[in-house]
Structure 1
Amino acid sequence: MLELTFGFFAMAAPAVVFAGISKGGFGSGAAFAAASILALVIEPGLALAVMLPMLMLMDVAALRSYWGKWNLRASMLLILGGLPGVAIGAALYARADADVFRVLIGVISIGFVLWQIAQRRGWIRAASRNLPDWAGALAGLVAGFTSFVSHAGGPPAAVYLLSLKPTKTEYQASTVLAFWIINIAKFVPYAFLGMFTKETGLANLVLAPFALIGVWLGVKAHHLMPERAFFLLTYALLTVTGTKLIWDGLT
């Protein structure tokens, strides 16, 4: 059961602002750090349930700034692949316990950091040519699954989108559109699985202003803040939280 204490909101409010900044300005890739942080203090399923409505609100808030600036074909391929990925995630959630999801969220968190480091050091290079449509659908499938179990669909989507050599704004707009639809699709199985409670709803009401503030800051930072500085902070947060979640899940 989620206890709406001062300690919970002291942890949740900055996490939601951080997620909003990522959603609004940095391709959504680091938004899932908020769920990882919350999973340190509450059950993973509740952390996911608290964050999904917040992510949906952030999606709507960010849409206006990036409307029509996306690669529509690429976004649709991610969406079409993402829907069955969501279904696979829902099937796993129905059969797994909380510790499985602690480990999954932790592994995905650490994996995100390692993937980013490898890419920046040139160990992993973006495709020299546009990836084919099937690769976009496959990336969407993986994104839908990882998005369902940890709100971490950004990296697989990025692999495909970056191969298309988009502008910074086109990339950001495409992720906003794709995950707007994928997050809407996640809402139904989350509700069906009983992940939402009265307490998560009350938490959402309190945290909604922080989500909107985060998106506003992210849209501003998209043009002003160095991406490197933002992601360095993200890597540190995800390394610590991911390690702790794996430890808790295994022990």
Structure 2
Amino acid sequence: MIDLPLFYLFAIPAVLITGISKGGFGGGLGLIAVPMMSFAISPVQAAAIMLPILCLMDIFGVVRFRQYADWTHLSILLPAALLGIIIGTFSFHYLNEAQIKLMIGLVAMAFVLNHLRGKGSDEAKPASVWRGGFWGIIGGFTSFGVHAGGAPLNIYLLPLKLNKSAFVGTTVIFFTAVNYIKLVPYFWLGQFTSDTLLTALVLAPLAPLGVYLGSFLHHRIDDRWFYRICYGLLTLAGTKLLFDGLSGLL
């Protein structure tokens, strides 16, 4: 088990932030957990520690929001995400973390800038096999590597203008499926060790606390503010990924 005090200084708030995000804000801020933990340990080890915790959080999220999920969109997104996970599994030794972060950071920021310039339509977009399939693949791929599937999923879902419960319910089901599927290749690639699993067990009690806090806040924010927060989280996530990606390549 990891016993570095510096690690827990970052890991505890990282797990709580992830739980809050997954419990009421669509999970967009959850990708910050691995970069935060990486101040003390390697990103690969951080991702392995977070995956069992994410799976535990997903159980609480499914219980709370499963009835709101939009299966029209999930039927498009989930098969595509499975393909993205397969690609991530077999490219694990070829693409480094910095390249993945830079790619998704650029896309996320381009989407936010387009929204801020007012080019996005006020009308809700319909379901799209092509758009959903593309972003589903990217979401599965980036989720596999650094648990950063929230940004590409939001890029597809936000223009649909779902009500906030449907938005959160859809993301909860999406990431529950994705995270439990990821357990198989993580075991196969040897990313789970006794140290990572024991450390995840120690941090696990924070999971339901974070999800509860997110659920509490979810009912106290209206749709307009909810979407402002979502775009804000997407901006924060994209900026962080760009910085980390460029730093890793330079």
TM range, smaller chain: 0.7 to 0.9
Q: 1:52-91 counterparts in 2 under 5 A?
A: 52-91=51-90
Q: Which residue of 2 aligns with 1:220?
A: 216
Which residue identity lines up with residue 246 of structure 1 in the other structure? L
Question: What SS does the aligned partner of 1:4 have?
Answer: coil
Which residue identity lines up with residue 76 of structure 2 in the other structure? L
Q: Which residue of 1 aligns with 2:104?
A: 108
| TM-score with structure 2 setting the length | 0.86
Q: Give the 3 Å change call, closer, same or farther, for CA 53–179 of structure 1 in structure 2.
A: same
Q: Which residue of 2 aligns with 1:51?
A: 50
| Contact 1:78 1:137 survives alignment (8 Å) | yes
Q: Give the 3 Å change call, closer, same or farther, for CA 230–37 of structure 1 in structure 2.
A: farther
Question: What SS does the aligned partner of 2:104 have?
Answer: helix
| Contact 2:105 2:237 survives alignment (8 Å) | no
Q: Which residue of 1 aligns with 2:34?
A: 35
- Once the 2 structures are TM-superposed, how far is the Cα of residue 49 of structure 1 from its aligned partner? 0.8
Q: Distance in 1 between matches of 2:5 and 2:208?
A: 21
Question: What SS does the aligned partner of 2:205 have?
Answer: helix
- Once the 2 structures are TM-superposed, how far is the Cα of residue 163 of structure 1 from its aligned partner? 4.0
| Contact 2:104 2:241 survives alignment (8 Å) | no
Q: CA RMSD in A?
A: 2.6
Counting matched residue pairs gives: 246
Q: Give the 3 Å change call, closer, same or farther, for CA 50–102 of structure 1 in structure 2.
A: farther
Q: Give the 3 Å change call, closer, same or farther, for CA 236–140 of structure 1 in structure 2.
A: closer
Q: Which residue of 2 aligns with 1:192?
A: 188
| TM-score with structure 1 setting the length | 0.86
Q: 1:101-140 counterparts in 2 under 5 A?
A: 101-105=97-101, 108-109=104-105, 111-113=107-109, 115-125=111-121, 129-140=125-136
- Once the 2 structures are TM-superposed, how far is the Cα of residue 222 of structure 1 from its aligned partner? 1.0
Are 1:209 and 2:208 counterparts?
Answer: no
Are 1:151 and 2:147 counterparts?
Answer: yes
Deviates more, 1:147-156 or 1:120-129: 120-129
Question: What SS does the aligned partner of 1:40 have?
Answer: coil
Q: Distance in 1 between matches of 2:58 and 2:102?
A: 24
| Contact 1:144 1:153 survives alignment (8 Å) | yes
Question: What SS does the aligned partner of 2:29 have?
Answer: coil
Question: What SS does the aligned partner of 1:95 have?
Answer: coil
Q: Give the 3 Å change call, closer, same or farther, for CA 158–244 of structure 1 in structure 2.
A: closer
- Once the 2 structures are TM-superposed, how far is the Cα of residue 113 of structure 1 from its aligned partner? 4.8
Q: Percent identical across equivalent pairs?
A: 34
Aligned match for 2:174, one of 174, 178, 190: 178
Q: Distance in 1 between matches of 2:85 and 2:126?
A: 25
Q: Distance in 2 between matches of 1:41 and 1:242?
A: 20
Q: Give the 3 Å change call, closer, same or farther, for CA 78–66 of structure 1 in structure 2.
A: same
- Once the 2 structures are TM-superposed, how far is the Cα of residue 169 of structure 1 from its aligned partner? 0.5
Q: Distance in 1 between matches of 2:151 and 2:104?
A: 10
| Contact 2:151 2:238 survives alignment (8 Å) | no
Q: Give the 3 Å change call, closer, same or farther, for CA 192–127 of structure 1 in structure 2.
A: farther
Q: Distance in 2 between matches of 1:38 and 1:124?
A: 35
| Contact 1:107 1:246 survives alignment (8 Å) | no
Which residue identity lines up with residue 246 of structure 2 in the other structure? I
Q: Give the 3 Å change call, closer, same or farther, for CA 205–93 of structure 1 in structure 2.
A: same
Q: Structure 2, unaligned stretches of length 5 or more?
A: none
Deviates more, 1:102-111 or 1:15-24: 102-111
Which residue identity lines up with residue 161 of structure 1 in the other structure? L
